[in-house]
Amino acid sequence: MLKLRQSEFSPGILAFGLSLALTLTQPLLAKSDSRIACPPYESIEQEIVQLAEEFPDWVDHIRYGSSNEGRELHLLRLAKKGLASAPGAVRQAVYIDGVIHGNEYLHIEDRLPRYFLENRETLPQLKTFLDQGGVVYMVPIFNPDGYAAHQRGNANGKDLNRDFPLLIKNHQGLHEIETQDFVAYLEEDLRRDNRKLALSMNYHCCDGSLLEPWSVNGFELPPTDLAAHQVIGELVRKILGTEYRVGKTSDILATTHAGTAKDYFYEHHHALAFTFEGLRASEDRNFSKHVQLWERIFAVLNHPQP
Ligand SMILES: [Zn+2]
**Residue ranges of domains in the chain:** 33-302
C-alpha of residue 279 to centroid of ligand 1, in Å: 12
Distance 186 CA to ligand 1 centre (A): 21
- For residues 298 and 126, the answer to whether their CB atoms sit within 8 Å is yes
> What spacing in Å lies between the alpha carbon of 102 and ligand 1's midpoint?
8
Q: Does residue 167 surpass a pLDDT of 90?
A: yes
Could you give the C-alpha distances from 303 to 87, 110, 193, 299, in angstroms and in order? Answer: 22, 27, 21, 6
Q: What is the reported pLDDT for 30? A: 36
CA of 264 to the centre of ligand 1 (A): 15
- pLDDT of 11: 45
Q: How confident is the model at residue 242 (pLDDT cuts 50, 70, 90)?
A: very high
CA distance linking residue 176 with residue 263, whole number of Å: 18
Ligand 1 centroid from CA 36, angstroms: 14
The Å distance, Cα 104 to ligand 1 centre, comes to 6
- What pLDDT is recorded for position 306? 62
**Ligand 1 center from residue 159 Cα (angstroms):** 9
Distance from the alpha carbon of residue 205 to the mean position of ligand 1, in angstroms: 6
H or E element in which residue 139 lies: strand 135-139
Q: Each residue of 214-236: pLDDT tens digit?
A: 999 999 999 999 999 999 999 99
Q: How far does residue 234's CA lie from ligand 1's centre (Å)?
A: 22
Residue 182 has pLDDT above 70, yes or no: yes
pLDDT value of residue 21: 45
List pLDDT tens digits, range 31-61. 358 999 999 999 999 999 999 999 999 999 9
Measure 230 CA to ligand 1 centroid, in angstroms.
21
The CA 73 to ligand 1 mean position distance, Å, reads: 19
Q: Is the pLDDT of residue 66 over 80?
A: yes
Please compute the mean of the pLDDT values over residues 141-154 and round it to a whole number.
Answer: 97
User: How would you class 43 by CB atoms within 10 Å of its CB: exposed for 0-12, middle for 13-18, buried for 19 or more?
Assistant: exposed
Tell how far the Cα of 21 is from the centroid of ligand 1, in angstroms: 26
Q: How far apart are CA 131 and CA 83, in angstroms?
A: 8
pTM for the full model? 0.89
Give me the torsion for CA of 14, 15, 16, 20, rounded to 10°: 100
Distance, CA 103 to ligand 1 centroid (Å)?
Answer: 8
Q: Are 91 and 193 contacting, i.e. CB atoms less than 8 angstroms apart? A: yes
Q: pLDDT tens digit string along 98-119?
A: 999 999 999 999 999 999 999 9
- From residue 278, alpha-carbon distances to 130, 264, 272 in Å are 27, 21, 19
**Confidence class for position 160, pLDDT limits 50, 70, 90:** very high
Give the Å distance between the CA of 211 and the centre of ligand 1.
11
Of 3.40.630.10, 1.10.10.10, 3.40.50.620, 2.60.40.1730, which CATH number belongs to 33-302? Answer: 3.40.630.10
